[in-house]
Structure 1
Amino acid sequence: MTDTPIINGNKQYILIEGESQENPVLLYLHGGPGTPDLFFVKDTLKPLEKLFTICYWEQRGAGRSYAALEDKNSISLEQMIMDAEAVSRYLLQKFGQEKIYVLGQSWGTFLGSLVVQRYPELYHAYLSVGQVTNQYLSELESYNFINEQATLRKDSGVLRKLKKWTVPSKDAGAKAWFRYLNFQRWQVARYRGSMRQKNIFLLAIWKLLTCKEYTFADKLNYMKGSTLSVNRLWDAIINTNINEVVTEYQIPVYFFHGEHDHHTYYEGAKDYFEKLSALKKRFYTFPDAAHFPHVECFEEFERIVREEVWRRDKS
């Protein structure tokens, strides 16, 4: 079922999937910014619909919400936080529940950390997949990973480009970062730092092109939304250290991180987790996964969610 509520003056899309509306609600915060991945994760996560009503929210200016955005200057970090709060309250009212769960992936963990810190009363727990901490340090680590892999493989073309495409400074601006990331993220995918077993970009492109939930116009708008979101939000991401801004959670938090993640580096997330304070906290390492452990190792992810999050909350 697709829902299109007006969120802070802007129509936004939510795909709602589940077997029973009596189940607890799980709000899925996609990554990017600006790259909804329901077409990539929905089929894999389908068994979770027995436990939750999963709400895949396409954020302001992203995916199917792009065409409905009249004021492109309205995208800001503060606006995204307010939108996430409004969506959460909308779902609480729609399903008649007192609290919901929230799952963030990649950029969704950046947004998720800030939202659950500000509005803990809205949430049962926070599930983090590929937690963002200090993203500038993640970019430095990711650059070194590509350099090491290109050296091992004697990939002279990539090595030449790495000398040209060095990591921009924090104040380089979103456009410079966007140009860099277009090159850099493709190499991370090629060297299996996005998904361990596959090139995620090739897989995601195919999934997007065959996605039944998207019209042809939605598919054309997808990259427009991604470009817009990165240009509007990247400065905030690269200059905000979550490990300094969010040091305490008043709800249970569960971190899921692939050991081979070279988007949001594993060691940074682990160090952040060790230092943070929370009502309850757990960190789960996936040694055979990269940036998408909930997809790459779904059976183990589902077991943990069912036994450690859903079942314990019900008991």
Structure 2
Amino acid sequence: MTRLLAALLLLALPLLAHGQPACPSGESFDKARAVVADLQRIVTPAGVQDTYAERIGGIDQWMQVRGKDRANPMILFVHGGPSSPAMPSAWQWQRPVEEFFTIAHYDQRGAGKTHRANDPDAVAGDMAIGRFVDDAIEVAEHLRARYGKDKLVLAGHSWGTVVAMHAALRRPDLFHAYVGIGQVIDTRRNERLSFEYGLERARVEGNAAAVAELESIAPYPGDAPITRERIIIARKWPQHYGGLNAYRDAEQDYYYGASLLSPAYDCEDRRAFFAGNVFTLEHVLDEFLQVDFSGVREFPIPVVMFLGRHDYTTPSAPTVEWLEQVRAPYRRAVWFEHSAHMIPWEEPGRTLLALLEHVRPLAVEP
């Protein structure tokens, strides 16, 4: 897989040019995973540490539920992508959060362990946003029943905000609040703002090659179709200039390498991670490019938006404008000054503080 093709994936989170990952030889990763697994063990009497497959939407979907006290509020985290499961990398930031919340992840259809567990040909016909939303609602209902929760906190990251926003609008009775991280409001506007940022930075830096490449697709997106080839160019340079990870270029070995150390993922799961990205993108890209929540004027539950000051993967301006005009029981924008798109990984401490200050009070059940 080339780096340019990779730039299409993960709602603009680029896969590194690893191609199909090989299984590492020797004992080094096994020993490292054992250390991480031991560190992660939930040993408190009231804790929960479950990883299992559940029948959701007619297929087996893999879940992970972790927390030090079952009585804590539960967060359902809808991962980004499409098809970028958080399960193999959340261990990098999640452990302190588990003291105050129980966190549930699931690998969506076409993603990671779920992609491995199901025949792609059998799933292909249901790879549409509406089906992903149905799945999220079914997962929420399952978690409520299994863990005895009246409601959950619903959190979405990147692509996951599209799925989660629809779920919250359709079934607000299931959720205490909604947390959007790297929120998608209007895909076409996001594309334009991201492109403009990359072009401006390239001009300031005197990067003639980048300027020429970006100007070759201008105006972007314009009225022309948003083809894969245009997206590749448009996203390459904003990410190079820190629009994905603040103060970094587009490389993010820390994120994709996390699965090598994750106790939740083995070699075949990692292979499915990469294969699922390609599979899912082929089926959802066109529909994703039409996403537009800007006309939503009422939101039925409290809404908290985590905004990366340097995010030019899903630029924050449309989210700020939407939040200012929407009517909701509670609205809050929380800025992360040293983050771009990967907020929990970039500022884990600030993420915990924001959850405690702005989200947990909305979710504590009597």
TM, length-normalised to structure 2: 0.79
SS in 2 for 1:219: helix
1:49 and 2:98 aligned: yes
| Alignment deviations for residues 240-265 of structure 1 (CA, whole Å, 9 cap, x no partner) | 21122x33221111111012110111
How far residue 133 of structure 1 moved from its aligned partner, in angstroms, is 0.6
Q: Partner of 2:305 in structure 1?
A: 255
Rg larger for: 2
Matched residue count: 311
| Structure 2 contact 304–358 (Cα < 8 Å) conserved | no
1:117-166 Cα offsets, whole Å, 9 max, x none, are 00000001111111111111111111111111222222223223224455
Are residues 235 and 283 of structure 1, via their aligned partners in 2, closer, same or farther at CA, if it must alter by over 3 Å?
Answer: same
Work out which of the residue numbers 140, 153, 162 in structure 2 matches 1:101: 153
Q: Which moved more, 1:158-167 or 1:36-45?
A: 158-167
AA partner of residue 335 (structure 2): T
TM alignment of 1:84-163, pairs within 5 A: 84-163=136-215
The one of 291, 308, 316 aligned to 1:240: 291
Aligned to 1:11: 60
Displacement after TM superposition at 1:106 (Å):
0.8
2:255 maps to which residue? 204
Q: Distance in 1 between matches of 2:104 and 2:132?
A: 17
CA contact (8 A) 1:45 1:295 kept: no
Pairing partner for 2:339 from 289, 292, 300: 289
Q: Distance in 1 between matches of 2:178 and 2:53?
A: 24
Q: Quote the Cα distance in structure 2 between the aligned partners of 1:87 and 1:259.
A: 32
Distance in structure 1 (CA, Å) of the matches to 2:189 and 2:317: 11
Structure 1 unaligned spans of 5+ = none
Tell me how large the CA RMSD over aligned residues is.
2.0
User: Match of 1:11, SS?
Assistant: strand
Unaligned runs of 5+ in 2: 1-49
CA distance in 1, matches of 2:141, 2:362: 24
Residues 257 and 271 of structure 1: CA distance in aligned 2, closer, same or farther (over 3 Å)? same
> For residues 93 and 171 of structure 1, what CA distance do their matches in structure 2 show?
47
How far apart are 1:65 and its partner, in Å?
1.0
* Alignment partner, residue 308 of structure 1: 358
Q: Is the 8 A contact 1:170 1:239 kept in 2?
A: no
Q: Deviations over 1:192-230 (max 9, x none)?
A: 111113345333232234433222122122222112222
Determine which of 312, 334, 349 is the counterpart of 1:299: 349
Task: Please state if 1:28 is matched with 2:77.
Answer: yes
Measure how far apart 1:300 and its partner are: 2.2
Q: How far has the Cα of 1:184 moved from its partner?
A: 4.1
Corresponding position of 1:222: 273
What residue number does 1:273 align with? Answer: 323
Normalising by the residue count of structure 1, what TM-score does the alignment of the two structures yield? 0.91
Distance 2:303 2:157 in 1: 14
Q: Distance in 1 between matches of 2:236 and 2:261?
A: 21
SS in 2 for 1:228: helix
Deviations 1:36-85 (A, max 9, x none): 13333332121110111111111011111112233222111111111001
Q: What is the Cα deviation at residue 311 of structure 1?
A: 3.5
Question: Structure 1 residues 157-166 or 103-112, which shifts more?
Answer: 157-166
Give distance in 2, aligned partners of 1:35 and 1:26: 18
Equivalent residues of 2:239, 2:313 under 8 A apart: no
Distance 1:180 1:73, change over 3 A: farther
